[in-house]
Structure 1
Amino acid sequence: MDQPHDNLASHSRPRQGFWGLWNISFGFFGIQIGFALQNANMSRIFQSLGESLDDLALLWIAAPLTGLLVQPIIGHYSDRTWCRFGRRRPYFFAGALFAALALFGMPHAPGLLAAAMMLWALDASLNVSMEPFRAFVGDMLAKEQHMAGYALQTAFIGAGAVIGSSTPWLLDRLGVANVATGSGIPDTVRISFYIGGGALFLAVLWTVLTTREYSPEQMARFEPSEEPSTVEPDTAPTIPAGGPLWIVAGLVVVVLVHLWALEKELYLLGALLAAYGIARIVARRLYRQGRGDNLLGHVIGNFATMPVMMKRLALVQFFTWSALFIMWIYTTPVVAQYVFGSADPKSAAYNEGGNWVGILFATYNGVAALAAPFLLQPLARRIGQANTHAFALMLGALGFLSFLFLRDAQALLLPEVAIGIAWASTLAMPYAMLASSVPQAKLGIYMGLFNAFVVIPQLLVATVMGTIMRHVFPTEPIWTMAFAAGVMLLASLATLRCREN
């Protein structure tokens, strides 16, 4: 077990060596295997079970909506947890256990509803594990090592995603059946989910067994010059007015959807806006009655009063993850139709295209694993984290744009290199900047709230993109990549407002 911090008299976190950084982040290797299997194969599973192309986005809503609810809750409680097993470790261990069970069960889903429910369970469990891991790096490392910690975490994310994305392709090469009989799921996908479940659980278990978290007493000694709220749970934050305006905004969306006969899934957007407004009114009323020190008060209060740097990073995340979610949903239909010549999910050509998408996803994740520690980290030291992130996102936009012109399977590997650099930066730079700019005591809840700007764009894509597909280009999914390029470009420009002083 790695025990680098027995010196209670120390006033700063001990500097971690390579193996300390390794042990802290290794669990993310397994978590990303689970995410990669989900991202690369769920559209394929849904279509294999009979779902049409223009309804794919709707079935993906469960995943981001789950993250929106789960991560702030887990962040809030992990900030306030201390037991014999630590502060963050109990959460990511429990999440890994249930995520592994969901991966084992996913291939046996008897129909679309069951598959959607399993996706919900899988994403909830992965989010329970992922959120504390983000805060765990900030807990364990001094500020000057944040970039190194998140860079190595990104390397593990990339490596795990390579394995998760490429496993069906490798199994196909080993002779495992890649086309299911009837309407079932191919054996290549089914066995990949079994392998992923085992790898996820064992990787998280490694971090649980090889690390020991700092006690509350040690955390209090590390930063004696800071205000007490940076090392102890904060009191209930002030909750500003404005709840009724959010409710009105939600009702306006609902009315417009009805009057303009838009797709019914857009009602979800209005419901979310109205629900936030109601929650804000309730939290404000409790606060004014002296009863604001609760989960709702902390989540709504900290969200409404987040630091300026977090707000700027939130806009970057909003645009970035809109592009990424478009990629995860539509790359398989795009590649299968335009490169392999089939839009039929039961055809051999379509499934060959699905396997190649796994290789494309493995490529960008493999590039990310190398780019984070060996390209982006040195570059950030020279030109700053914000400038580095803006450059990386610009490359990602060019990568998405290339899909409109390339029709050769091998040639698609080139834009994946550019997307991989953007992905590496997305997984490291915003979190390093955030962890260094918020109070330590709020790191868990701020990391959880920060996830809202990963989830909200996914919900928008899952609802709005399906509508656009139906009405503008119902049989031409290639144009989704143009949308992805455009919003990634906006993310790059928004990053320039996050330059460090």
Structure 2
Amino acid sequence: MTRQQKQNTKPKLSFWQIWNVSFGFLGVQFGFALQNANASRILSDLGADLHSLSLFWLVAPVMGLIIQPIVGSASDKTWNRLGRRNPYILAGGIAAAFGMLLMPNSSNIATFMTPLLFGAMMLALMDAAFNLAFQPFRALVSDMVSEDQRNLGYSIQSFLINIGAVFGSILPFLLTNVIGLENVADKGEVAPSVIWAFYIGATVMLGSVLWTVLRTKEYAPGENGLPELNQEAEKLPLGERLSGFFGLMKTMPETMKRLAVVQFFSWFALFIMWVYTMPAITQHIWGVDAKWFDPDYLSQVGQVPAHIAQAKGTAGDWVGIMFAAYSVFAAIASLFMAKVANQIGRKLTYSVSLLAGAIGYISIIFWQDSTLTMVNLGITEIEVPQGAVMLLISMIGVGMAWAAILAMPYAILAGSLPPKQTGVYMGIFNFTIAAPQIVSGLFAGWILTSVFENQAIYIMMMAGGAMLLAALAVYFVKENGSETAETTSEQATA
């Protein structure tokens, strides 16, 4: 091998080197999972109705739409003592921790605005910060890992993401049932178990992000196949740089365009799950009428009956158990996904996993047994309806889909991207994540109230149909590891 070839070839990394590259994502996902499992609960406690919940959740994809492409492009052109991607990962971790400390305390902090508005602002801050870290983590794996280790690299990242999600999702439940903190919220307040969960989540996130930043030495520009920094692009006027960015969108690889269709349906379904699982199971399994999610009705009755507040609190905790369960199943699936993809191909692995997710969503409607049963979770016992226990079976399929969504699109896409613009293209690819969530956020609440009469279980069935369409759409993706956007991208430099 010539000296030039050695310069252009990434070295083979050890398992623990690849582990360190993605370890910070464990903490970021810890925080993100806390948000996913508890944001609807917090916003409902602060006064949001079912229709407006999806509108508040729009903050996440909008922030992703704005921030990830900008961060992707900026990190492609960054090099300092921390590296190329690490400065953005660190900044995102610090900002997200700040938002996590403030959001659950909205009712105590907000004096110049309503607690609900302040909570929504902190949700926006957290989402902006999470997105600031997400994209550089994806690009960091592509930068550091060679082609023959790519499946392993993204599978390890998927595994760590799901380990973080497990503990982030289950933490409020543990604080209630093991530590003994109260999980019932007073009117207009947030339950103490949720507040302390966010404190712990902020600490874990910062610690893991620092681990990656301090333990990962990024390759310098021009080293191991990475391109030199394009200093000329930095000097271009903003208008020309924006024009170049939109030019890249027009000339994106065909693989990215077809993956966008799969992404649309799968992320449309995920958004619905994150927003409406809590009211769906509270109504469908705990038997709480939809009126108890209506702020106008709550203002009329004054005090929420104790049994209703307890049911909502228990169901909210159980959502954390469900989300932890699908993350456990996703982590297990991630351990085998690289080998399975090597054997049967990435596309088939991706499609079958999404099909399992569709079955998982649709099966939720069949679990409605309200018979109370004692469940031993190892660390504690809890009494819940039998139907709630059966939901854990549904989470097997959801976990398989989630593992594939976190790994397979990026593994398929990475071989289609030019090394000098991996970051910006990964940022552009986030449009395929943000756009379906925005569509879902704009219309899901209206569909729930106008079509399904606030019966949230039916919108979960609609999510299952969307996941099925995603599984079918994988068939049309053209995977070509040698495809790059070099030719077209040279015409439009971001």
Q: Same fold (TM over 0.5)?
A: yes
Q: Name the amino acid aligned to 1:406.
A: W
8 Å CA contact 1:231, 1:440 repeated in 2: no
Counterpart check, 1:358 vs 2:320: yes
- Percent identity reads 44
Counterpart check, 1:296 vs 2:242: yes
In structure 1, the partner of 2:490 is: none
In structure 2, the partner of 1:463 is: 442
Structure 1 counterpart SS, 2:456: coil
Deviation per residue, 1:238-295 (Å, 9 max, x gap): xxxxxxxxxxxxxxxxxxxxxxxxxxxxxxxxxxxxxxxxxxxxxxxxxxxx968744
Deviation per residue, 1:406-465 (Å, 9 max, x gap): 120110000101100000000000011111111011110111110111001111111111
Q: Name the amino acid aligned to 1:212.
A: K
Counterpart check, 1:315 vs 2:261: yes
In structure 2, the partner of 1:409 is: 388
- Give the aligned length: 433
Structure 2 counterpart SS, 1:500: coil
Structure 2 counterpart SS, 1:84: coil
In structure 2, the partner of 1:372 is: 334
Q: Name the amino acid aligned to 1:21.
A: I
Counterpart check, 1:135 vs 2:158: no
8 Å CA contact 1:166, 1:362 repeated in 2: yes
Deviation per residue, 1:35-68 (Å, 9 max, x gap): 1011110100111011111221111111111110
In structure 2, the partner of 1:86 is: 83
Q: Name the amino acid aligned to 1:41.
A: N
8 Å CA contact 1:167, 1:192 repeated in 2: yes
Counterpart check, 1:478 vs 2:475: no
Counterpart check, 1:144 vs 2:136: no
User: Residue 155 of structure 1 is aligned with which of 153, 159, 164?
Assistant: 159
In structure 2, the partner of 1:67 is: 64
In structure 1, the partner of 2:36 is: 39
User: Residue 21 of structure 1 is aligned with which of 18, 26, 32?
Assistant: 18
> Structure 1 CA distance, aligned partners of 2:447 and 2:258?
28
In structure 2, the partner of 1:438 is: 417
Deviation per residue, 1:83-136 (Å, 9 max, x gap): 111100000101100101110111111311001100000000110011100000
In structure 1, the partner of 2:105 is: 108
Deviation at 1:9, TM superposition (A): 5.1
* Structure 1: gaps (5+ residues): 1-6, 224-229, 237-289
Deviation at 1:71, TM superposition (A): 0.3
Q: Which moved more, 1:134-143 or 1:401-410?
A: 401-410
User: Residue 213 of structure 2 is aligned with which of 186, 208, 223?
Assistant: 208
8 Å CA contact 2:45, 2:187 repeated in 1: no
> Structure 2 CA distance, aligned partners of 1:18 and 1:212?
15
> Structure 1 CA distance, aligned partners of 2:238 and 2:180?
60
Alignment of 1:209-224 (within 5 A): 209-219=214-224, 222=225
In structure 1, the partner of 2:378 is: none
User: Residue 333 of structure 1 is aligned with which of 279, 285, 309?
Assistant: 279
Deviation at 1:471, TM superposition (A): 1.1
Q: CA RMSD in A?
A: 1.8
TM-score (norm 2): 0.85
Deviation at 1:180, TM superposition (A): 2.2
> Structure 2 CA distance, aligned partners of 1:313 and 1:14?
29
8 Å CA contact 2:255, 2:478 repeated in 1: no
Q: Compared with structure 1, are the counterparts of its residues 487 and 370 closer, same or farther at alpha carbon in structure 2 (3 Å cutoff)? A: same
In structure 1, the partner of 2:351 is: 390
Q: Compared with structure 1, are the counterparts of its residues 420 and 231 closer, same or farther at alpha carbon in structure 2 (3 Å cutoff)? A: farther
Deviation at 1:233, TM superposition (A): 4.3
> Structure 2 CA distance, aligned partners of 1:436 and 1:127?
23
